[in-house]
Structure 1
Amino acid sequence: MNDHRMNDQPNRMIEPLFLRRASILLLFLLWLTVHSQGQAVSVKARVDRSTILIGERLQLELEVAIPETSAIRFFSIDTIPHFEFIDKPAPDTLNTTDGTILRQRITLTSFDSGQWVIPALPLVEGEGPYTDSILVDVVFSPMDTSQPYHDVRDVMTEEVVEKKVWDWKIIITGVLAFVALFVFLVLYFFKRKKPATRTVPRVDILAETLREMEQIEQAKLDDKAYYIQVTALFRNYLHRRIGMDAGEKTSVQLEQWLKTLSVPAVQLNAWKEQWEKGELVKFAKGQVAQEDREQMARVTREVMRTVEEITLKMEAHANLAK
């Protein structure tokens, strides 16, 4: 009997130790299960109202909570039966201590009256996790019972009002009167005596310039002053006769312009030669004889007369064109 008691004592000591270890293991497994579920991806779907009128807008909010250890992903929704997408912006991202939260607010509407279900939406097609399905009522606008009821009436016929037709005789009389008044006014203003225009005598610029040339020749000027006044007189003639700003032109530019005016080459070459001599004299780089001074005056007169003839022909042609 004593032996039996001695054998039973060790068994009683083992049982509490086994139960303690089993309890610890069970609690660890339970904690592991809860922790692993807390780290799983969670999805939510909700709407801002459960009943809308036909064509009224509905806000559908989708939310995904993703742990740090999971890959970032979001719903891929193109259609929802009985609903139409109005606005589908990109999801907003919110970083938290536990991971990342993605939210998207989709604007929907429906033109089908009835009770419709937004189905459970999978985060990954065919795999999940899935949102809860949502029931939405789409109804017509309720009748306002406070307003009086109107019976259906028969089709009303509109009375045709006869338009007043003007007498054709009155129309013709008015047109003839307007034409007669118009003719009278035209004849009256055209027959009025126009004031006599005052004729301004034309100034002979060439004749004045030639007289000034004679005065320069008669004045006993030195070579430099002589050439300066002759060239200045020629430039002034071009300015007064054709409005050319000859005072700002170089001798080369004047030569090119005379070419375009079709001044004969013989006159142009003689003019160029005399002007080159004049340039040397003006800068005290040469002297000329009396015959050179006379040649300068003669060539300048010939070129001015040629310019005058060409200008008169151009003016006559322009007057005929008018």
Structure 2
Amino acid sequence: MLKKNEIIILKKNQRHQRSIELTMKKILYILLLLVAGIQVQAQSFSVEATPDTNKLMIGEQVKVNLRVTYRVDNGAVNVVFPALYDTINEFVEIVSKSAIDTVIPDKNDPYRFYQEQNIVLTSFDSGYYVVPPFQFVINNDTVETDAFLLEVNTMEVDTTQGIFDIKAPISEPFSLIDWLKENWWWMVAILVLAIAVYVLIRYLKNRKPKVQEEVVIPVIPYHVIALEKLEKLKQEQLWQNGKVKLYHSHISEILREYIENRYQINALEETTAEIVYGLRLQLISAEQMNKLTQTLTLADLVKFAKEQPLPLENEQSLTFAIAFIESTKINTEVTN
């Protein structure tokens, strides 16, 4: 009979063996899942190159559709299409290639995408040519399409017939009607141009010269302009609002403009003394000369010496200016 200690050791060994078996089963199960996942991932995309025909004549063209189909169940897929140049090989040339187009997945299978690009091939030598596989790069793995064969044929020549010279061109009689059929639009254009020239000449001959009406712009007398400016200055009430310097500057400027236009002296650029001296020979009364001198002198003192006139002096400057203009204005009234 087994002793008690031996029985205990035997049971422990059995449990340990069962634990090892369970662990091995788990590892095998995980490996199976990994292998299945790799197979699914490996089969989650495919590439193909499909020509619309394998037979063509010299110089004809064949369209090849490059397509990659993939699934995005397990995440995004990075696809790089083959690099295409001018030729496939020394006998097959690439005529054109389209942009890469991504097709929207079907609503019944939203994880299935495919992209495609069309290229056009041609050949100018007869024979059988292998178009090698096109290489795609998908998630950093290189995947190739199947190669395909192109059969390029020449025109069949009937060797039973002899070789003949090129026939000479046949001359056909050319009539006036034929010429008119080919050049009628020139005749119409010349006729239309002749009619247009005739109408233009008649129009120019019969056109009456347009008499321009003389626009008479009334000349406003200088004294009217000056008096209107002084009236506007009075309405602005500058000195009443503390703008004494601006008030007297406007009076001086209005008087100088009037004197310059009335007596043809450069009053806007001259000093008060020069203006008074320039008016000495004019028919101006001594009283009005004194008013003018007083008004211009006060304006100079306010402008350059910061004189602060009394309210009465402010009013007198405007009154004196109006009086001077009224007394020296040119009488524009016509006496019958």
Q: TM-score, normalised by structure 2?
A: 0.40
What TM-score do the two structures reach when normalised by structure 1? 0.42
